[in-house]
Amino acid sequence: MRLPSVRALRFLCLVSSVFCLLSSVGHADLVWTSATGWRVEGGALSGLAGADGSKALDVMNSARTKEEQGSTRSALRAYANVAKKYPNSIYAPEALYRSARLRLAGKDYQKAFEDFQGVVGRYPNTKRFNEIIGEQYRIASAVLDGARGRMLWGLLPGFKSREKGIEFFETVLVNAPYSDYAPLSLMNIARGHQKLDQVENAIDALDRMINNYPQNLLAPDAYLKLGQTHATLVDGPYYDQAATKEAITYFTDFMLLFPSDTGVAAAEKGLDGMKNMLAESKMKIGDFYFYKRSNYTAAKVFYNEAITSYPESPIAARAKLRLVDVESKASGKKVAPEGKAEGDAPKKKRFWLF
């Protein structure tokens, strides 16, 4: 058996040392007191050694001191320096976290979110993971609802950016897809797209919600909103009814899946409107073939579809009367409403109204 070379053994030792180093840093806590400054507790190493370790610690102490003195810009520069120059140290995630907190206090939502993202993106094992996801969710909510950022040049408020709020929620969804914030983020994404009149995108978000989190408490609301959102795409009985059919599907699914939900009345109202719309559309097509093309076979098909679309509706009753007229025209005989041909009755002078 071939024995490993000395160089290979040294490499393995180096890898092992690095692994132990990172493990030690990962389990250590960074604690601040005004008397002693930053110190590492619960772990033997900071991730740095020698001059680098001392330099990083000095910069962190300086940054925190400036932060507490109210010198926010100086503190932010110092924290950014630590995060950039010492990314593998225990100080880096803390520097990004402190920076995010300072930016959030100053309503710099964009950069605060980015700094929080720097922590969970680069250091996913941080003990602050849940806290940071919660902060990112709150920032996204504020931005989506129109919160303005920090003052521009100290004179004017920042601009609203609902699109950025949607982007933030998508990031939260990627960061924590199995957290309670994920379905909430999808509902807010849908809400944001609706505010921006991006109906198709809103439907996509709601669809992701019911497919990925069908057992979540927000699922009933998502089904109902899907029906209502599809209904907003319906332009009338003369147009394509694909959105009408989708709305009917989601209203029906909602009522079947959640019969005790408080939104049942709204779903019933929505379903009634959409079934009437679909039946009326069939009537319009039937009328076209009947009156404009004298195509009685096609007319009968669509009048029957109007009846089956909503059997209990007044539209269905109208369709049945139209079928009587179609039979009359097709046979060349006047047909009574009950279906008896007038040619079979004693001949009397009658007046027909169309």
Tell me which DSSP letter residue 176 carries. Answer: -
With respect to residue 204, please indicate whether it lies within any of the assigned structural domains.
no
Torsion 72-76-79-81 (CA) sign: negative
Domain count, the chain: 1
Whether residue 225 lies inside any domain: the answer is no
pLDDT digits (tens, 9 = 90+) for 329-350: 998 865 455 444 444 444 444 4
% pLDDT > 90, the chain: 73
State pLDDT tens for residues 196-240.
999 999 999 999 999 999 999 999 999 999 999 999 999 999 999
- Between 271 and 349, residue with greater pLDDT: 271
Place of tokens 């009658």: 350
Number of neighbours of residue 198 by Cβ within 10 angstroms:
16
For residue 149, is it within any domain?
no
* 242 in Cβ contact with 279 (< 8 Å): no
Q: How far apart are the first and last CA of the chain?
A: 103
Q: Residues of the chain with pLDDT > 70: what percent?
A: 81
* Beta pairing, strands 37-41 & 29-33: antiparallel
- Residue among 259, 214, 237, 238 nearest 310 (CA): 237
Q: Dump pLDDT digits (tens) for 21-76.
A: 444 444 578 899 988 899 888 754 566 666 787 898 999 999 999 999 999 999 99
Is residue 48 included in any domain, yes or no? yes
pLDDT tens digits for 167-199?
A: 999 999 999 999 999 999 999 999 999 999 999
Tell me if residue 15 falls in helix, strand or coil: helix
- Classify residue 42: in a domain, yes or no: yes
Whole-number Å distance between alpha carbons of 194 and 201: 8
- Please check whether residue 56 lies inside any domain of the structure: yes
Q: What is the pLDDT of residues 285-295, one digit of tens each?
A: 999 999 999 99
Confidence of residue 149 (pLDDT cuts 50, 70, 90): confident
Domain assignment of residue 228, yes or no: no
Kindly state whether residue 43 falls inside one of the protein's structural domains.
yes
At 155, the pLDDT band (50, 70, 90 cuts) reads: low
Q: How many helices (H) and strands (E) does the chain have?
A: 14, 2
Alpha-carbon distance of 98 to 106, in angstroms, equals 13
Give whole-number Cα distances, 340 to 35, 297, 335, 345, in Å: 104, 20, 6, 8
Q: Which residues contact 231 (CB under 8 A, 6 or more apart)?
A: 243, 244, 247, 270, 273, 274
Token pair recorded at residue 47: 């991730």
Q: Residue 16 corresponds to which amino acid?
A: S
Structural domain harbouring 28: 19-105
